[in-house]
Amino acid sequence: MTEKFEPRIVGFLCNWCSYAGADLAGTSKLKVPSSLTPIRVMCSSRVDPVLVTTAFLRGADGVLIAGCHPGDCHYDEGNYYARRRFAILKKVVEGLGLESDRLRLSWISASEGQRFAEVVNEFNEKIKKMGPNPLRTKKTL
């Protein structure tokens, strides 16, 4: 018997744009998968690579980092740094033996409730297809 796979997705949302966009998705009563648990940070640049790798090591099936569109960062250039870290993190995720697509970076503005819903729905489907994080059940790497 195969148990239905319920993904566990962690979403790091920046306070000024993407967290607001996620709120708007709620205010607009859009359907967003409950598999994503949001964690608010002040800026996408706060998303520590260690946090992301820890997330995967602890069994997260997917990690979404969402920030302001390039040029719109509340702290000037934070999101550019997030983008650079994301590029490197993708390799790290591969190094853990996981599909690099389990990590996603999206720019979502405060007025893009619709887009937030679309991104999370799409990501959720993708993760479902990939299956659960194998590290969840492993005792050691």
Partner 1 sequence: MEQKIGVYICECGPNISEKVDIDKVIQAVKPLKGVAVVEKFKLLCSEDGKKFLVEQIKKHGLTHLVVAACSPRDHEKTFKEVCEKGEINPYLFQLANIREQCAWITDDKNEATKKTIRLTKAAIRRVRLHTPLEKKEIEGNPDVLVIGGGISGISTSLQLASSDRKVFLVEKEPVLGGLVNNFEKIYPTMERGPDLIKEKVFEIEKNENIKVFTDSQVEKVVGFLGNFEVTIKKIKEEDNIQDFNVGAVVLATGSKLFDPIITPKYGYGKFDNVITSLEFEKMNLSGKITLKNGKTPSNVAIVHCVGREEKGYCSDICCLYSIKFVRYLKEKIPSVKVSNLYSDLCIPGKTHQNFYEETLGKDIEFLRSKDIEIAKKGNNLEISYNDENNNKKKLTADMIILSPAVEPTIDASKLAAITNISQGNGGFFAEEHEKLGPISTSTEGVFITGCAQGPKNIFDSITQAEAASGKILTSLIPGRKIEPEIKVSQISEALCIGCKTCLTVCSYGAISFDDSKKISVVNEVICRGCGNCVAACPSGAANIKHFTFNQLYQELMEAVQ
Partner 2 sequence: MKEKDKNKDVLVIGAGIGGIEASLLLSKADRKVHLVEKTSYTGGSVIKYEEVFSNMECSTCMVAPIQQELLQDKNINLITLAEIEDVKGLPGNFTVKINKKARYVDMQNCIGCNACFDPCPVSLKNEFEEGLSKRKAIYIPCAGALPNVPMIDTENCLRFNGKKDCKACQEACMFEAIDYNQKDQKIELKVDSIIAATGFETYDLSKLSKFGYGKVDDVYSAFEFERLYASNGPTEGKIVLKNKKEPKSAAIIHCAGRDKKGYCSSVCCMYSVKFGHYLKSKIPNIKITDLYTDLVIPGKSNQKFYEKLKKTKVDMVRASDIEISKHTNGVSIKFNNANGKKDNLIVDMVIIAPAIEPRSDASKLAKVLDIKTDRYGFLEEQKGNVSSVITSKPGIFMAGCVQGPKNIQETVAQANAAVGKILSSK
Q: Which residues bind partner 1 (CB under 8 A)?
A: 8, 10, 15, 19-20, 22-27, 29-34, 37-43, 45-51, 54-55, 58-60, 74-78, 81-82, 85, 117
Stretch that binds partner 2, among 36-44, 47-55, 67-75, 133-141 (CB under 8 A): 67-75
Closest of 90, 84, 9 to residue 45, by C-alpha:
84
Q: Are 101 and 61 contacting, i.e. CB atoms less than 8 angstroms apart?
A: no
List the single partner that 32 binds among partner 2, partner 1, none, CB under 5 to 8 Å by kind: partner 1
Counting residues that bind partner 2 (by CB under 8 A) gives 17
Residue placing its CB nearer to partner 2 in the complex, 2 or 27 = 27
**What φ, ψ does residue 41 adopt, rounded to 5°?**
-125, 160
Pairing of strands 9-14, 62-67: parallel
**C-beta neighbour count of 1 within 10 angstroms:** 2
Residue placing its CB nearer to partner 2 in the complex, 34 or 111 = 111
For the chain, where are the E strands, in sequence order?
9-14, 36-41, 62-67, 103-107
Instruction: Map residues 82-111 to x or -, x wherever contact with partner 2 holds by CB under 8 A.
Output: ---------------------------xxx
Q: Choose which of 20, 22, 43, 93 interacts with partner 2 (CB under 8 A).
A: 20
**C-beta neighbour count of 97 within 10 angstroms:** 12
Residue placing its CB nearer to partner 1 in the complex, 8 or 115 = 8
